[in-house]
Structure 1
Amino acid sequence: MIAPTVGHYVFTRADGQPLDFIPGQFIQVHFSYADGTATRRSYSLANLHDHALGPGESVEIAVSYVPGGSATALFEGLDIGGEVQASGPFGRFCLQPGDHNGRYLLIATGTGVTPYRAMLPALATLIRERGIEVILLQGARNLGELLYHDEFRAFADAHPEFRYLPCLSRGLPDAAHPEMRHGYVQQFLAEIGPDPARDIAYLCGNPDMVDATFEALKETELPVPQIRREKYVSSK
Protein backbone atom coordinates (compact mmCIF):
# COMPACT_ATOMS: atom_id res chain seq x y z
CA MET A 1 0.00 0.00 0.00
CA ILE A 2 1.53 3.32 -1.06
CA ALA A 3 -1.47 5.31 0.26
CA PRO A 4 -4.48 4.41 2.42
CA THR A 5 -6.54 3.50 -0.67
CA VAL A 6 -3.86 2.85 -3.32
CA GLY A 7 -1.92 -0.37 -3.86
CA HIS A 8 1.26 -0.71 -5.92
CA TYR A 9 1.22 -4.04 -7.77
CA VAL A 10 4.10 -5.80 -9.50
CA PHE A 11 3.51 -8.47 -12.15
CA THR A 12 5.56 -10.48 -14.62
CA ARG A 13 4.20 -11.96 -17.83
CA ALA A 14 3.16 -15.58 -17.24
CA ASP A 15 4.01 -16.50 -20.83
CA GLY A 16 7.63 -15.45 -20.36
CA GLN A 17 7.51 -12.94 -23.19
CA PRO A 18 8.97 -9.41 -23.02
CA LEU A 19 6.84 -6.27 -22.84
CA ASP A 20 7.87 -3.01 -24.42
CA PHE A 21 5.96 0.19 -23.79
CA ILE A 22 6.35 3.93 -24.08
CA PRO A 23 6.21 5.80 -20.75
CA GLY A 24 2.70 7.15 -20.40
CA GLN A 25 0.97 4.10 -21.87
CA PHE A 26 -1.41 1.79 -20.00
CA ILE A 27 -2.54 -1.81 -19.87
CA GLN A 28 -6.09 -3.11 -19.51
CA VAL A 29 -6.93 -5.75 -16.93
CA HIS A 30 -9.81 -8.04 -17.95
CA PHE A 31 -12.25 -9.63 -15.50
CA SER A 32 -15.97 -10.29 -15.01
CA TYR A 33 -18.66 -8.89 -12.75
CA ALA A 34 -20.48 -11.23 -10.38
CA ASP A 35 -23.16 -11.77 -13.03
CA GLY A 36 -20.55 -12.95 -15.53
CA THR A 37 -20.49 -9.77 -17.64
CA ALA A 38 -17.01 -9.18 -19.04
CA THR A 39 -15.35 -5.83 -18.34
CA ARG A 40 -11.91 -4.26 -18.09
CA ARG A 41 -10.03 -1.49 -16.27
CA SER A 42 -7.11 0.62 -17.50
CA TYR A 43 -3.95 1.20 -15.45
CA SER A 44 -0.97 3.31 -16.44
CA LEU A 45 2.35 1.51 -16.30
CA ALA A 46 4.39 2.85 -13.40
CA ASN A 47 7.79 1.36 -14.24
CA LEU A 48 10.78 3.65 -14.17
CA HIS A 49 11.21 2.76 -17.81
CA ASP A 50 14.18 3.44 -20.04
CA HIS A 51 14.32 0.27 -22.14
CA ALA A 52 12.24 -2.65 -23.39
CA LEU A 53 11.14 -4.91 -20.56
CA GLY A 54 12.79 -8.24 -21.21
CA PRO A 55 11.44 -11.68 -20.29
CA GLY A 56 10.74 -11.90 -16.57
CA GLU A 57 11.00 -8.16 -15.91
CA SER A 58 8.29 -6.66 -13.75
CA VAL A 59 5.24 -4.69 -14.83
CA GLU A 60 4.13 -2.13 -12.23
CA ILE A 61 0.76 -0.41 -11.78
CA ALA A 62 -0.96 1.64 -9.07
CA VAL A 63 -4.53 0.60 -8.23
CA SER A 64 -7.04 2.86 -6.48
CA TYR A 65 -9.43 0.99 -4.23
CA VAL A 66 -13.12 1.90 -4.66
CA PRO A 67 -15.49 0.70 -1.88
CA GLY A 68 -17.62 -2.10 -3.28
CA GLY A 69 -15.76 -2.06 -6.58
CA SER A 70 -15.42 -5.24 -8.61
CA ALA A 71 -11.86 -4.36 -9.69
CA THR A 72 -10.98 -3.62 -6.06
CA ALA A 73 -12.25 -7.05 -5.06
CA LEU A 74 -10.17 -8.63 -7.82
CA PHE A 75 -6.93 -7.01 -6.68
CA GLU A 76 -7.56 -7.35 -2.97
CA GLY A 77 -8.15 -11.06 -3.52
CA LEU A 78 -4.81 -11.66 -5.24
CA ASP A 79 -2.20 -13.66 -3.39
CA ILE A 80 1.49 -13.70 -4.27
CA GLY A 81 1.65 -15.66 -7.51
CA GLY A 82 -1.93 -14.82 -8.46
CA GLU A 83 -2.67 -14.04 -12.11
CA VAL A 84 -4.75 -11.50 -13.99
CA GLN A 85 -5.60 -11.35 -17.67
CA ALA A 86 -4.36 -8.20 -19.38
CA SER A 87 -3.82 -6.63 -22.79
CA GLY A 88 -1.80 -3.73 -24.11
CA PRO A 89 0.10 -1.54 -23.92
CA PHE A 90 -2.17 1.20 -25.28
CA GLY A 91 -2.34 4.98 -25.34
CA ARG A 92 -0.65 8.12 -26.66
CA PHE A 93 -0.24 10.10 -23.42
CA CYS A 94 3.51 10.08 -23.98
CA LEU A 95 6.43 12.40 -24.53
CA GLN A 96 6.65 12.96 -28.28
CA PRO A 97 9.96 12.66 -30.17
CA GLY A 98 9.06 15.69 -32.31
CA ASP A 99 8.60 18.07 -29.38
CA HIS A 100 10.84 21.14 -29.50
CA ASN A 101 9.54 22.85 -26.38
CA GLY A 102 11.67 24.35 -23.68
CA ARG A 103 9.55 23.19 -20.74
CA TYR A 104 7.04 20.52 -19.74
CA LEU A 105 4.26 21.22 -17.25
CA LEU A 106 3.18 17.90 -15.72
CA ILE A 107 -0.01 18.20 -13.68
CA ALA A 108 -1.73 15.34 -11.87
CA THR A 109 -3.95 14.23 -9.03
CA GLY A 110 -4.17 10.80 -7.40
CA THR A 111 -2.96 7.88 -9.49
CA GLY A 112 -2.80 10.26 -12.44
CA VAL A 113 0.81 10.88 -11.43
CA THR A 114 1.73 7.28 -12.32
CA PRO A 115 2.71 7.95 -15.96
CA TYR A 116 5.00 10.77 -14.86
CA ARG A 117 6.91 8.33 -12.65
CA ALA A 118 7.48 6.17 -15.73
CA MET A 119 8.69 9.22 -17.66
CA LEU A 120 11.48 10.15 -15.22
CA PRO A 121 14.33 8.35 -17.06
CA ALA A 122 13.25 9.92 -20.38
CA LEU A 123 12.99 13.33 -18.73
CA ALA A 124 16.50 12.93 -17.32
CA THR A 125 17.73 12.29 -20.86
CA LEU A 126 15.88 15.32 -22.24
CA ILE A 127 17.26 17.51 -19.47
CA ARG A 128 20.77 16.34 -20.28
CA GLU A 129 20.49 16.43 -24.08
CA ARG A 130 18.10 19.32 -24.76
CA GLY A 131 18.34 21.34 -21.57
CA ILE A 132 14.58 21.29 -21.02
CA GLU A 133 12.92 22.35 -17.79
CA VAL A 134 10.13 20.41 -16.09
CA ILE A 135 7.58 21.40 -13.45
CA LEU A 136 5.49 18.71 -11.74
CA LEU A 137 2.35 19.90 -9.94
CA GLN A 138 0.98 16.94 -7.96
CA GLY A 139 -2.30 17.25 -6.09
CA ALA A 140 -3.52 15.21 -3.11
CA ARG A 141 -5.56 15.78 0.01
CA ASN A 142 -2.69 15.17 2.42
CA LEU A 143 0.90 13.98 2.55
CA GLY A 144 -0.11 10.35 3.06
CA GLU A 145 -1.95 10.35 -0.27
CA LEU A 146 0.90 11.93 -2.24
CA LEU A 147 1.97 8.98 -4.39
CA TYR A 148 5.70 8.42 -5.07
CA HIS A 149 6.45 11.67 -3.25
CA ASP A 150 9.91 10.63 -2.05
CA GLU A 151 10.94 9.55 -5.55
CA PHE A 152 9.86 12.81 -7.16
CA ARG A 153 11.57 14.85 -4.44
CA ALA A 154 14.80 12.87 -4.86
CA PHE A 155 14.64 13.37 -8.64
CA ALA A 156 14.14 17.11 -8.16
CA ASP A 157 17.07 17.28 -5.75
CA ALA A 158 19.28 15.53 -8.32
CA HIS A 159 18.07 17.62 -11.29
CA PRO A 160 17.83 21.39 -10.71
CA GLU A 161 15.90 21.71 -13.98
CA PHE A 162 13.06 19.64 -12.46
CA ARG A 163 10.81 21.54 -10.06
CA TYR A 164 8.46 19.54 -7.86
CA LEU A 165 5.42 21.31 -6.38
CA PRO A 166 3.17 19.03 -4.29
CA CYS A 167 -0.22 20.66 -3.62
CA LEU A 168 -2.18 19.49 -0.57
CA SER A 169 -5.81 20.57 -0.36
CA ARG A 170 -6.29 19.85 3.36
CA GLY A 171 -3.34 21.70 4.79
CA LEU A 172 0.42 21.38 5.05
CA PRO A 173 2.29 19.10 7.47
CA ASP A 174 4.65 20.47 10.07
CA ALA A 175 8.06 21.41 8.66
CA ALA A 176 6.72 21.24 5.10
CA HIS A 177 9.22 21.50 2.24
CA PRO A 178 9.43 25.08 0.89
CA GLU A 179 8.10 23.89 -2.47
CA MET A 180 4.96 22.33 -0.95
CA ARG A 181 1.73 24.29 -1.48
CA HIS A 182 -1.66 24.40 0.27
CA GLY A 183 -4.49 24.19 -2.24
CA TYR A 184 -5.40 22.68 -5.59
CA VAL A 185 -3.01 22.33 -8.50
CA GLN A 186 -4.90 24.77 -10.74
CA GLN A 187 -4.48 27.51 -8.12
CA PHE A 188 -0.72 27.61 -8.73
CA LEU A 189 -0.64 27.98 -12.51
CA ALA A 190 -0.01 31.70 -12.17
CA GLU A 191 3.05 30.95 -10.04
CA ILE A 192 4.63 28.81 -12.76
CA GLY A 193 3.60 31.22 -15.54
CA PRO A 194 2.52 29.04 -18.50
CA ASP A 195 4.27 30.31 -21.63
CA PRO A 196 2.74 29.55 -25.06
CA ALA A 197 6.13 30.04 -26.68
CA ARG A 198 7.87 27.23 -24.78
CA ASP A 199 5.47 25.05 -22.79
CA ILE A 200 3.71 21.75 -23.37
CA ALA A 201 1.32 20.69 -20.60
CA TYR A 202 0.19 17.22 -19.56
CA LEU A 203 -2.95 16.79 -17.43
CA CYS A 204 -3.80 13.46 -15.82
CA GLY A 205 -6.11 12.40 -13.02
CA ASN A 206 -9.49 13.47 -11.68
CA PRO A 207 -11.74 14.59 -14.57
CA ASP A 208 -12.86 17.74 -12.72
CA MET A 209 -9.23 18.77 -12.20
CA VAL A 210 -8.36 18.00 -15.82
CA ASP A 211 -11.28 20.08 -17.11
CA ALA A 212 -10.64 23.01 -14.76
CA THR A 213 -6.92 23.08 -15.48
CA PHE A 214 -7.51 22.74 -19.22
CA GLU A 215 -9.75 25.83 -19.18
CA ALA A 216 -7.29 27.73 -17.00
CA LEU A 217 -4.42 26.92 -19.36
CA LYS A 218 -6.45 28.07 -22.35
CA GLU A 219 -6.99 31.40 -20.56
CA THR A 220 -3.20 31.79 -20.43
CA GLU A 221 -3.29 31.45 -24.25
CA LEU A 222 -1.55 28.09 -24.23
CA PRO A 223 -2.69 26.56 -27.56
CA VAL A 224 -4.90 23.48 -27.28
CA PRO A 225 -2.44 21.29 -29.28
CA GLN A 226 0.10 22.00 -26.52
CA ILE A 227 -2.22 20.57 -23.83
CA ARG A 228 -2.36 16.77 -23.58
CA ARG A 229 -5.01 15.19 -21.38
CA GLU A 230 -5.91 11.86 -19.82
CA LYS A 231 -8.79 11.49 -17.35
CA TYR A 232 -8.91 8.84 -14.65
CA VAL A 233 -12.42 7.75 -13.69
CA SER A 234 -12.96 5.61 -10.59
CA SER A 235 -15.48 2.95 -11.47
CA LYS A 236 -17.11 0.00 -9.74
Structure 2
Amino acid sequence: MAEQFPLRLVSSYMLAEAVRHLVFERADGLPFVFAPGQFIQVHFHYADGKPTKRSYSVATIGAGDASPIGQIEIAVSYVEGGAATALLANLMEGETITASGPYGRFCLFDNDANQRYLLVGTGTGITPYRAMLPQLRKVIAARGCEVNLIFGARNEHELLYDADFSAFEREVPGFRYYTCLSRHARSLPRTQDRRGHVQLLLNELAPSAEGDIAYLCGNPNMVDESFGLLKEAGLPVPHIRREKYISSK
Protein backbone atom coordinates (compact mmCIF):
# COMPACT_ATOMS: atom_id res chain seq x y z
CA MET A 1 0.00 0.00 0.00
CA ALA A 2 1.35 3.41 -0.97
CA GLU A 3 2.41 5.79 1.76
CA GLN A 4 -0.17 8.43 2.64
CA PHE A 5 0.78 12.03 3.41
CA PRO A 6 -1.00 15.24 4.43
CA LEU A 7 -1.69 18.03 1.95
CA ARG A 8 -2.41 21.59 3.09
CA LEU A 9 -4.52 23.83 0.86
CA VAL A 10 -2.51 26.93 -0.11
CA SER A 11 -4.94 28.59 -2.52
CA SER A 12 -7.75 27.91 -4.97
CA TYR A 13 -9.86 29.53 -7.65
CA MET A 14 -12.69 28.57 -9.98
CA LEU A 15 -11.54 27.46 -13.43
CA ALA A 16 -15.11 27.13 -14.66
CA GLU A 17 -18.57 27.20 -13.16
CA ALA A 18 -18.22 23.64 -11.83
CA VAL A 19 -14.43 23.14 -11.75
CA ARG A 20 -12.10 24.33 -8.98
CA HIS A 21 -8.31 24.58 -9.24
CA LEU A 22 -6.65 23.74 -5.91
CA VAL A 23 -3.02 24.31 -4.94
CA PHE A 24 -1.59 22.18 -2.11
CA GLU A 25 1.72 21.71 -0.38
CA ARG A 26 2.84 18.73 1.65
CA ALA A 27 2.12 19.55 5.28
CA ASP A 28 4.92 17.21 6.39
CA GLY A 29 7.52 19.31 4.56
CA LEU A 30 8.75 16.41 2.43
CA PRO A 31 9.31 16.78 -1.34
CA PHE A 32 6.87 15.48 -3.92
CA VAL A 33 8.27 13.97 -7.11
CA PHE A 34 6.10 13.01 -10.07
CA ALA A 35 6.33 12.40 -13.80
CA PRO A 36 4.03 14.67 -15.85
CA GLY A 37 0.86 12.73 -16.58
CA GLN A 38 0.68 10.96 -13.20
CA PHE A 39 -2.07 11.37 -10.60
CA ILE A 40 -2.58 11.39 -6.85
CA GLN A 41 -5.35 9.82 -4.79
CA VAL A 42 -7.26 11.75 -2.14
CA HIS A 43 -8.36 9.57 0.80
CA PHE A 44 -11.39 10.32 2.97
CA HIS A 45 -14.44 8.67 4.55
CA TYR A 46 -18.12 8.57 3.69
CA ALA A 47 -20.60 9.82 6.29
CA ASP A 48 -21.01 6.22 7.52
CA GLY A 49 -17.27 5.98 8.16
CA LYS A 50 -16.45 3.77 5.17
CA PRO A 51 -13.07 4.72 3.63
CA THR A 52 -12.88 5.74 -0.01
CA LYS A 53 -10.61 7.65 -2.40
CA ARG A 54 -10.67 9.69 -5.61
CA SER A 55 -7.98 10.16 -8.27
CA TYR A 56 -6.82 13.53 -9.65
CA SER A 57 -4.13 14.21 -12.24
CA VAL A 58 -1.36 16.54 -11.14
CA ALA A 59 -1.67 19.78 -13.12
CA THR A 60 1.51 21.43 -11.81
CA ILE A 61 3.83 22.91 -14.44
CA GLY A 62 7.22 21.81 -13.12
CA ALA A 63 10.67 21.45 -14.66
CA GLY A 64 9.59 18.89 -17.23
CA ASP A 65 11.21 15.88 -15.57
CA ALA A 66 10.96 13.90 -12.34
CA SER A 67 12.15 16.74 -10.10
CA PRO A 68 10.64 17.68 -6.74
CA ILE A 69 7.86 20.25 -6.88
CA GLY A 70 6.86 22.56 -4.06
CA GLN A 71 3.15 22.61 -4.84
CA ILE A 72 0.67 20.02 -6.05
CA GLU A 73 -2.08 21.44 -8.25
CA ILE A 74 -5.25 19.59 -9.24
CA ALA A 75 -8.56 20.42 -10.95
CA VAL A 76 -11.73 19.11 -9.33
CA SER A 77 -15.10 18.81 -11.07
CA TYR A 78 -18.13 19.24 -8.86
CA VAL A 79 -20.49 16.25 -8.91
CA GLU A 80 -23.99 16.80 -7.51
CA GLY A 81 -24.23 14.87 -4.25
CA GLY A 82 -20.64 13.68 -4.54
CA ALA A 83 -18.73 12.85 -1.38
CA ALA A 84 -15.45 14.22 -2.78
CA THR A 85 -17.27 17.39 -3.88
CA ALA A 86 -18.52 17.90 -0.33
CA LEU A 87 -14.94 17.60 0.92
CA LEU A 88 -13.05 19.63 -1.69
CA ALA A 89 -15.65 22.28 -2.51
CA ASN A 90 -15.72 23.42 1.10
CA LEU A 91 -12.03 23.06 1.90
CA MET A 92 -10.56 26.28 3.27
CA GLU A 93 -7.02 27.59 2.95
CA GLY A 94 -4.82 26.08 5.67
CA GLU A 95 -6.96 22.96 6.06
CA THR A 96 -5.50 19.54 5.27
CA ILE A 97 -6.52 16.37 3.47
CA THR A 98 -4.83 12.98 3.11
CA ALA A 99 -3.33 11.86 -0.21
CA SER A 100 -1.04 9.23 -1.70
CA GLY A 101 0.88 8.81 -4.94
CA PRO A 102 1.98 9.52 -7.52
CA TYR A 103 0.49 6.77 -9.66
CA GLY A 104 0.09 5.94 -13.33
CA ARG A 105 1.98 5.62 -16.61
CA PHE A 106 0.04 8.15 -18.71
CA CYS A 107 3.36 9.82 -19.47
CA LEU A 108 5.69 10.60 -22.35
CA PHE A 109 8.17 7.76 -22.82
CA ASP A 110 11.90 8.40 -23.18
CA ASN A 111 12.18 5.91 -26.05
CA ASP A 112 9.41 7.49 -28.19
CA ALA A 113 10.63 8.16 -31.74
CA ASN A 114 7.38 9.32 -33.36
CA GLN A 115 6.96 12.33 -35.63
CA ARG A 116 3.74 13.63 -34.02
CA TYR A 117 1.80 13.49 -30.76
CA LEU A 118 -1.99 13.73 -30.75
CA LEU A 119 -3.03 14.74 -27.23
CA VAL A 120 -6.80 14.56 -26.79
CA GLY A 121 -8.68 15.64 -23.68
CA THR A 122 -12.16 16.55 -22.47
CA GLY A 123 -13.10 18.29 -19.22
CA THR A 124 -10.57 17.84 -16.44
CA GLY A 125 -8.93 15.21 -18.66
CA ILE A 126 -6.91 18.12 -20.05
CA THR A 127 -4.95 18.56 -16.78
CA PRO A 128 -2.14 16.04 -17.40
CA TYR A 129 -1.26 17.88 -20.62
CA ARG A 130 -0.80 21.13 -18.68
CA ALA A 131 1.79 19.36 -16.52
CA MET A 132 3.50 18.04 -19.68
CA LEU A 133 4.11 21.47 -21.25
CA PRO A 134 7.76 21.88 -20.15
CA GLN A 135 8.50 18.31 -21.24
CA LEU A 136 6.81 18.89 -24.59
CA ARG A 137 8.95 21.99 -25.12
CA LYS A 138 12.08 19.85 -24.68
CA VAL A 139 10.80 17.04 -26.90
CA ILE A 140 9.89 19.43 -29.73
CA ALA A 141 13.32 21.11 -29.51
CA ALA A 142 15.23 17.83 -29.31
CA ARG A 143 13.39 15.75 -31.91
CA GLY A 144 11.61 18.31 -34.07
CA CYS A 145 8.32 16.47 -33.64
CA GLU A 146 4.89 18.10 -33.86
CA VAL A 147 2.39 18.18 -31.00
CA ASN A 148 -1.35 18.68 -31.57
CA LEU A 149 -3.39 19.28 -28.41
CA ILE A 150 -7.13 18.75 -28.94
CA PHE A 151 -9.49 19.98 -26.20
CA GLY A 152 -13.19 19.11 -26.30
CA ALA A 153 -15.71 21.15 -24.31
CA ARG A 154 -19.28 22.38 -24.60
CA ASN A 155 -18.38 26.08 -24.75
CA GLU A 156 -15.46 28.48 -24.30
CA HIS A 157 -16.17 28.91 -20.57
CA GLU A 158 -15.30 25.24 -20.03
CA LEU A 159 -11.88 25.45 -21.72
CA LEU A 160 -9.78 24.85 -18.61
CA TYR A 161 -6.27 26.38 -18.70
CA ASP A 162 -7.06 27.90 -22.10
CA ALA A 163 -4.69 30.83 -21.48
CA ASP A 164 -1.81 28.46 -20.63
CA PHE A 165 -2.22 26.42 -23.80
CA SER A 166 -2.73 29.49 -25.99
CA ALA A 167 0.41 31.14 -24.62
CA PHE A 168 2.42 27.95 -25.10
CA GLU A 169 1.28 27.76 -28.73
CA ARG A 170 2.53 31.30 -29.33
CA GLU A 171 5.90 30.53 -27.73
CA VAL A 172 6.65 27.08 -29.14
CA PRO A 173 6.73 26.38 -32.89
CA GLY A 174 5.56 22.85 -33.49
CA PHE A 175 2.78 23.00 -30.89
CA ARG A 176 -0.79 23.46 -32.10
CA TYR A 177 -3.76 23.95 -29.81
CA TYR A 178 -7.17 22.96 -31.19
CA THR A 179 -10.53 23.33 -29.46
CA CYS A 180 -13.72 21.46 -30.31
CA LEU A 181 -16.84 23.14 -28.91
CA SER A 182 -19.98 21.01 -29.09
CA ARG A 183 -22.61 23.56 -27.95
CA HIS A 184 -21.53 27.16 -28.57
CA ALA A 185 -18.69 28.74 -30.56
CA ARG A 186 -16.28 31.26 -29.01
CA SER A 187 -17.32 34.89 -28.98
CA LEU A 188 -14.03 35.61 -30.78
CA PRO A 189 -13.28 32.50 -32.85
CA ARG A 190 -9.72 31.27 -33.45
CA THR A 191 -8.34 29.65 -36.59
CA GLN A 192 -7.97 26.31 -34.82
CA ASP A 193 -11.43 26.26 -33.25
CA ARG A 194 -13.87 23.64 -34.48
CA ARG A 195 -17.54 22.91 -33.82
CA GLY A 196 -18.47 19.41 -32.71
CA HIS A 197 -16.61 16.65 -30.93
CA VAL A 198 -12.93 15.78 -30.86
CA GLN A 199 -13.45 12.67 -32.98
CA LEU A 200 -14.24 14.86 -36.00
CA LEU A 201 -10.98 16.73 -35.62
CA LEU A 202 -9.04 13.50 -35.24
CA ASN A 203 -10.34 12.47 -38.65
CA GLU A 204 -9.34 15.85 -40.05
CA LEU A 205 -5.78 15.43 -38.76
CA ALA A 206 -5.49 12.07 -40.54
CA PRO A 207 -3.79 9.87 -37.91
CA SER A 208 -0.75 8.04 -39.26
CA ALA A 209 0.26 4.55 -38.24
CA GLU A 210 3.86 5.34 -39.14
CA GLY A 211 4.33 8.65 -37.38
CA ASP A 212 1.82 9.20 -34.57
CA ILE A 213 1.40 8.43 -30.89
CA ALA A 214 -1.96 9.39 -29.38
CA TYR A 215 -3.02 10.15 -25.80
CA LEU A 216 -6.70 10.05 -24.81
CA CYS A 217 -7.90 11.39 -21.47
CA GLY A 218 -11.35 12.28 -20.19
CA ASN A 219 -14.90 11.15 -20.87
CA PRO A 220 -15.02 7.33 -21.25
CA ASN A 221 -17.23 7.50 -24.36
CA MET A 222 -14.79 9.88 -26.04
CA VAL A 223 -11.86 7.67 -25.10
CA ASP A 224 -13.51 4.52 -26.42
CA GLU A 225 -14.71 6.10 -29.68
CA SER A 226 -11.37 7.79 -30.33
CA PHE A 227 -9.53 4.56 -29.55
CA GLY A 228 -11.60 2.76 -32.18
CA LEU A 229 -11.00 5.52 -34.72
CA LEU A 230 -7.25 5.44 -34.16
CA LYS A 231 -7.12 1.65 -34.41
CA GLU A 232 -8.99 1.84 -37.71
CA ALA A 233 -6.36 4.34 -38.89
CA GLY A 234 -3.75 1.66 -38.21
CA LEU A 235 -2.14 2.92 -35.00
CA PRO A 236 -0.79 0.00 -32.97
CA VAL A 237 -2.38 -0.32 -29.53
CA PRO A 238 0.87 0.58 -27.66
CA HIS A 239 0.76 3.92 -29.52
CA ILE A 240 -2.70 4.74 -28.14
CA ARG A 241 -2.37 5.63 -24.46
CA ARG A 242 -5.59 6.03 -22.49
CA GLU A 243 -6.88 7.33 -19.20
CA LYS A 244 -10.62 7.51 -18.47
CA TYR A 245 -12.14 10.06 -16.10
CA ILE A 246 -15.26 8.73 -14.41
CA SER A 247 -17.29 10.98 -12.08
CA SER A 248 -17.98 9.17 -8.79
CA LYS A 249 -20.31 10.06 -5.96
Question: Do they superpose with TM above 0.5?
Answer: yes
CA shift, 1:157, in A, is 1.2
Tell me, in whole angstroms, the C-alpha distance in 2 between the residues paired with 1:235 and 1:119. 26
Q: Deviations over 1:103-123 (max 9, x none)?
A: 100001000000000000000
Match of 2:111 among 79, 98, 101: 98
Are residues 1:176 and 2:175 paired? no
Are residues 1:232 and 2:248 paired? no
Are residues 1:41 and 2:54 paired? yes
Structure 2 counterparts to residues 143-154 of structure 1, below 5 A: 143-154=156-167
Letter in 2 for 1:58: Q
| TM-score for both structures, normalised by structure 1 | 0.97
Percent identity at matched positions? 58
Query: Which of structure 1's runs of 4+ aligned residues deviate more than 2 A?
Result: none
Are residues 1:136 and 2:149 paired? yes
Structure 2 counterparts to residues 141-220 of structure 1, below 5 A: 141-220=154-233
Tell me, in whole angstroms, the C-alpha distance in 2 between the residues paired with 1:183 and 1:212. 14
Structure 2 counterparts to residues 86-125 of structure 1, below 5 A: 86-125=99-138
CA shift, 1:229, in A, is 0.2
CA shift, 1:135, in A, is 0.3
Letter in 1 for 2:95: G
Tell me, in whole angstroms, the C-alpha distance in 2 between the residues paired with 1:159 and 1:192. 20
Tell me, in whole angstroms, the C-alpha distance in 2 between the residues paired with 1:173 and 1:114. 21
Match of 1:31 among 44, 49, 52: 44
SS in 2 for 1:144: helix
Are residues 1:53 and 2:96 paired? no
Q: Deviations over 1:33-92 (max 9, x none)?
A: 0110000000000001215225xx111000010011000000122111010000000000
CA contact (8 A) 2:44 2:52 kept: yes
1:19 corresponds in structure 2 to 32
SS in 2 for 1:22: coil
Match of 1:9 among 13, 19, 22: 22
Mean Cα deviation higher: 197-206 or 169-178: 169-178
CA shift, 1:13, in A, is 0.2
Letter in 2 for 1:92: R
Letter in 2 for 1:209: M
Q: Deviations over 1:122-166 (max 9, x none)?
A: 000011111110001100000000110111011111112011111
CA contact (8 A) 1:171 1:183 kept: no
SS in 1 for 2:185: coil
Q: Deviations over 1:18-44 (max 9, x none)?
A: 010000000000000011000000000
| TM-score for both structures, normalised by structure 2 | 0.92
Structure 2 spans left out of the alignment, 5+ residues:
1-13
CA shift, 1:11, in A, is 0.4
CA contact (8 A) 2:156 2:184 kept: no
Tell me, in whole angstroms, the C-alpha distance in 2 between the residues paired with 1:114 and 1:64. 12
